Structure 1
C-alpha cells in the first residue's frame, strides 16, 4: 500500500519552549488517519507544520516525506491546491467576505484546474448542492449560518482537485445530518489519495475508521486502529473523551416554574429572512434561571431566533415582551457561534478585557477565579484572537460575558469549538450560571443529546 505521508520526530517550538513533543506517523493511501484530542492538545500545530503554515515565531524540527520524497517547506507549499490541501478550522478566516459563495468555488476550478468559466460554474453549483447549500449559492459568507459557511469553505478548498486532504475540525458547528454529509464528501474527495482529519469529536473518529492517534497537551497518548481504540481504550484520557459525549451525560434537574419569575414572553412569533419563512406562530415563555434549548438543522433559524429576542434582527409578526426592566442593555448578551467574529485582532485579549473592566467598572479580582474555572491560562491575555485556538477563544468569550452579570444569555452553539471534555465543563458552567444567578439561558445546539440532557424546555425548529 502506497505511503503518502511519513513524519519522523516532528516537534514544534516557540523559542526554547516545546509545544509539540516529537511525533512520528505514517499515512497510507485509502487508510484515513484521525488525530483526536482536546482543544490546545497540539493537533492543529501538527497539521500546520505539515503544510508549512506555522505562525510567526514557531519553528519545527524533524523530517516530512510526501509521496515518497523528503520535502522542504517551499516544496510542500508548491503542492497547495493541486495535490495537497488543508481545510480551515475557522471558515470566516478562509472565505472572501465580499464574494458570493459560488464564485469562491468557481475561481478554484477555473484557476487551479484550468476549467472554462461555464464548466467551473456548473461544477461549483453541483458541489454546493451536494453539501446542502442549494438556494444559497449566490449568498455572501455573512449571509450564511456558521454551519453553512463551513460547508462552503470545504467545497472551495477541495475544488482544486487535491486528493490528499488535511481537515482541521471540518465538522464543528454542523448538525448530525450535515456532519455526515461532510464526512462523506471528504471520503469521496480523498478516495484516490489520503485523508488526515483533526477533530475533538469522538463520533467523527468512529465514523471515519482507519487509524487513530490520541493527543493531549502536545504529547501522543495512544495510537492504533480506530475501531479497537474506541472500543477498548488503554489510556484514561481516551476513556474520558469517550465518556464525555453528551449522550452519556446525566439529565439536568428541571427548574421549578412556581418559584421563578417570567423574564421573556414570546407570542405567535414569525420571522422571514432572505425572502424565506424560517418559522411562524412560535410561542414560549422563559423564566429566570431557566435553560431553554433550541435544536434544528443548520440554516433553520436557530441563530435568527436568538438574535430576534435580543433585538438584533427584526421579526415579521408576533410580540416579544421583556419583563426585567431593571436590567441594563449590556446584560442581555449573546455568545457567538464563531468567536473570531466577536473580537478585534488588532489588540490583545488582555487589552479587550481591560477595556471591558474600565467601561463597566468591573472588580478585577473576579477575573482570575473565572479564568481558572474556564481553564484559561494567564498567558492567553498577551495574544490576540488569531493567536489562540477556537476553543480557547470561545472560553474567553464566556469569561467576558460572565463578568457582565447577564440576566439573559443567548448562547449560540457555545460548545461547537470545544472538545467533549471541555464542552461538558462549559455547558455545566452555563447551567450553574443560570442556577446561581437566575440568568436565563437560551442554548442553541446542533446536538439533540446535549439539549435533551441539559435544558428545562426544548424548542425544535
Structure 2
C-alpha cells in the first residue's frame, strides 16, 4: 500500500520500524525524520541492527526477516515490508553505500564501465559521454590509474572509494552510507566526508552508519545510539558527544582509541621471517623496493600508509602468498606448515559463502587439532553467541564476521599473523576487547604480529614498531631498518 502526502517536506521519515526473525526482535520501534540538508548518524555496538535498518529502508532485507512500520520518502509512504514499492527509487532517489564493497562491485566487469552504467542507465547519457564522466569521477577519487582494473585487483580502500563514486553518481537525495570510511587513510576519509557534505549542501539528506564518532561529529546533525536493537540515546551529535546521558553512550565514548593506554611491550624472540632486498610492482607501478625486514617472535609491527600503497601486498609476500619481484624471504625452517596466517581485510571473502559458520569453524578446529569447546570459549571471549553459527557469512553483521574470522585464525596458533584492518568493522568497545583477545593470544604463543591499520591511535597503542608506507616516509628514510624503533620501506 502506498500513500502520498504532498505537504510533507521531509525527504525521509521512518516510523515504528521493527525487524523480526522467527518471532525474535532484531530492531524495535525506530523512528526519525530527515529534512533536506539534514544528517543523522547511527552508532552503537556491532550487531545492534544498524545495517539491517538501512536495508529495511531500501527494501532489500534477507527473505527470512520481516519488517514492520512505515517508510516515507519525499512524501510517499509505504509499508516497511512492501519492498517492491521502493525498488523503482533505487539509485535515482534512494541510494545505499553498502558496508562490503566486494559484494557491491561486479567481479567480472572492469571499474570504469560499472560507473559509466550509472550515467547511461539512470541519467540517459550516451555511452561515450558516460565513459568520459566515469573516467573523470574515478580520477577525482584517486583511481585514475585503476579505471580498467577488476574489483579483485583493488585494495580495500580503493574498492571503498570506487563504490562511493558509483553510489554518488546516481544523484539520489536520500543517501545512506554504511561504514563509508573504513579502510581509508586520513586524506581519503576527509575527502569522503567532503563529498557527503556536498550532498547535504545540494539539498539531500544523509544517514550514516559508523563506528567512528569523529566522522559523525564532522558531518554534524543528529545521532541515534543503538544497543541490542533499541534506541538508548538520541539527539544533536555535538551534545551527545560532549554530554552523553546513557551509560552505554558514555562507555562508547570512553573506548575511543585516542584514549587507550599502550598495551604492554613484549620481549622479542628469535627471527621468524627475514626479508632482504624485496620489491614488488603491480600494473607497472612500484609498490615497494629494496626493502630489508626482520620479524621476531613476540614483536608487534604496526603497518600504516595510504590506500593502495602495497601494505597488503607486503603481507602476502612475507607469508609466501606472492613471490617478490626481487630479493628473498627466509622463514624459520622449524615452523609448522600453517604457522603463517593472514586475517583478511574483507572477512566475507575469506569464508565459504554456502557453508554455515559452524561448519567453517569445525573444519578449522579439526585441521588444527582443537576441541569444539575451545572454539566456543574463544567465541565467548569475543562476545559471539553460539546461535549465530548456524548462519552463513552474509547473514551476520560485518563486525560479527570480523570477530569470527579472528577466532578462526587463532586456531592455527600462528608464528606470524598478518592482520589486515582486523577491527575496521567494530565499534570502539568491541575493538578494544577484540584486540585484547588477539594480543593475549599472540603473547601466549609468542607469535609475531603485523597489524595494518589506518587508525594512528590503534597503531600507537598496539605497535612496538611502525612500518610507514607514506610517500614522505619512503622518500626520507634509509633502506635498511633498525633492529628496533621505526621501520621504513625504501623509496622506489
Asked if these proteins are the same fold (TM beyond 0.5), I'd say: yes
CA displacement 1:88-140 (0-9 Å, x = unmatched): 11011111001111110001110111011121112111211222212111111
- CA shift, 1:261, in A, is 1.5
Distance 2:146 2:423 in 1: 26
For 2:400 and 2:335, how far apart are their aligned partners in 1? 29
> Which residue does 1:187 correspond to in 2?
197
Structure 1 counterpart of 2:403: 395
Whether 1:90 aligns to 2:100 is yes
Match of 1:4 among 1, 6, 11: 11
Partner of residue 207 from structure 1, selected from 218, 224, 241:
218
Distance in 2, Cα, partners of 1:133 & 1:238 = 37
Q: What are structure 2's unaligned runs of at least 5 residues?
A: 1-7, 470-492
What SS does structure 2 have at the residue aligned with 1:326? coil
Residue in structure 1 matched with residue 448 of structure 2 by the alignment? 440
Question: Cα distance, 1:306 vs. partner?
Answer: 0.4
Q: Which of residues 431, 440, 461 in structure 2 aligns to 1:423?
A: 431
Matches within 5 A, 1:151-190: 151-190=161-200
Distance (whole Å) between structure 2 residues aligned to residue 189 and residue 429 of structure 1: 40
2:51 pairs with 1:41: no
What residue is the counterpart of 2:272 in the other structure?
263
* Residue 307 of structure 1: aligned partner: 316
CA contact (8 A) 1:45 1:54 kept: yes
Rounded to whole Å, the distance in 2 between the matches of 1:193 and 1:184 is: 14
Counterparts of 1:43-442 in structure 2, within 5 Å, are: 43-72=50-79, 73=82, 74-190=84-200, 191-257=202-268, 260-323=269-332, 325-442=333-450
Alignment partners' CA distance in 2, 1:83 and 1:348:
36
Q: CA deviation at 1:69?
A: 2.4
Deviation of 1:317 (Å): 2.1
* Cα RMSD, aligned residues only: 1.4
CA distance in 2, matches of 1:85, 1:226: 23
Contact 2:365-2:375 at 8 Å conserved across structures: no
Checking the alignment, whether the CA contact within 8 Å between 2:199 and 2:205 is kept in structure 1 is: no
Instruction: Give distance in 1, aligned partners of 2:306 and 2:87.
Output: 37
- Checking the alignment, whether the CA contact within 8 Å between 2:267 and 2:298 is kept in structure 1 is no
For 2:481, the equivalent position in structure 1 comes to: none
Give the secondary-structure state (helix, strand or coil) at the position aligned to 1:386. Answer: helix
Question: 1:310-333, CA deviations, whole angstroms, 9 ceiling, x for partnerless residues?
Answer: 11112122222212x222222210
1:19 to 13, 21, 26: 26
- Structure 1: gaps spanning 5 or more residues: none
Task: Tell me the distance in 1 between the aligned counterparts of 2:140 and 2:254.
Answer: 33
Task: Tell me if structure 1 keeps the 8 A contact 2:356–2:389.
Answer: yes
Measure, in 2, the Cα distance between the counterparts of 1:358 and 1:253: 33
* Structure 1 residue 410, shift from structure 2 partner: 0.7
Length-normalised TM-score, structure 2: 0.90
Counterpart CA distance in 2 for 1:215 and 1:460 is 36
Residue pair 1:252, 1:454 contacting (<8 A) in 2 also:
yes
What residue is the counterpart of 1:456 in the other structure?
A: 464
